[in-house]
């Protein structure tokens, strides 16, 4: 892949990841701001089932936030990769950064941009599943 096409693809993917980080955070924050109102409306009639549902919703929210932070880190790595002239140099830099941070051992061969994007897409799917859990259980808990 030519330098400009590689940089454009990595940069566009990083920008898309930033959006994927922002929207779940905003929706979770909005739901958490509405939670005290819903909780006060339930009052002393709150059941153990509704308390358990809110706990599961909180776990889903925390999982979503954790995945969002991992995706944010990946977005920054893709921006770093896009700052290099070619794919091999960008990939080698990312591998070096991850090895220096002791997050991953130095690989024998540098992975391509498409392979790295596929791994991040799997992480996006996990984030969306955690958010779906949060949203579904929050709706159920709101009506218990």
Identify the band that residue 1 occupies on the pLDDT scale cut at 50, 70 and 90: low
Most confidently modeled of 25-29, 52-56, 128-132?
Answer: 128-132
Q: Could you report the per-residue pLDDT of 38-89, keeping only the tens digit for each?
A: 554 455 566 777 778 888 888 999 999 999 999 999 999 999 999 998 899 9
Whether 90 and 82 have beta carbons less than 8 Å apart is answered as: yes
Domain ranges of the chain: 3-35+51-142
Mean predicted lDDT score pLDDT of the chain: 87
Between residues 46 and 131, the one the model is more confident about: 131
* Burial (Cβ within 10 Å: 0-12, 13-18, ≥19) of residue 58: middle
CB-based burial, 11-45: b 16+ in 10 Å, e otherwise = eebbeebeebbeebeebbeebeeebeeeeeeeeee
Q: Could you report the per-residue pLDDT of 91-120, keeping only the tens digit for each?
A: 999 999 999 999 999 898 989 999 999 999
Identify the band that residue 33 occupies on the pLDDT scale cut at 50, 70 and 90: confident
Length of the chain: 144
pLDDT for 40:
47
Alpha-carbon distances of 42 from 36, 50, 53, 137, rounded to whole Å: 10, 9, 13, 16
The whole-model pTM stands at 0.85
Q: How far apart are CA 40 and CA 61, in angstroms?
A: 20
């Amino acid at each position: 892949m030519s330098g400009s096409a590689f940089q454009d693809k990595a940069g566009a993917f990083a920008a898309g990841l930033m959006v994927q980080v922002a929207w779940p955070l905003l929706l979770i924050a909005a739901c958490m701001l509405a939670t005290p109102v819903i909780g006060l409306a339930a009052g002393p009639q709150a059941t153990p089932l509704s308390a358990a549902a809110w706990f599961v919703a909180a776990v889903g929210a925390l999982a979503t936030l954790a995945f969002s932070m991992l995706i944010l880190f990946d977005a920054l790595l893709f921006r770093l990769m896009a700052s290099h002239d070619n794919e091999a140099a960008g990939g080698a830099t990312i591998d070096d950064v991850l090895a220096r941070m002791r997050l991953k051992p130095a690989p024998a061969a540098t992975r391509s941009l498409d392979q790295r994007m596929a791994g991040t897409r799997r992480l996006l799917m996990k984030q969306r599943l955690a958010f779906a859990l949060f949203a579904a259980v929050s709706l159920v808990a709101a009506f218990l």
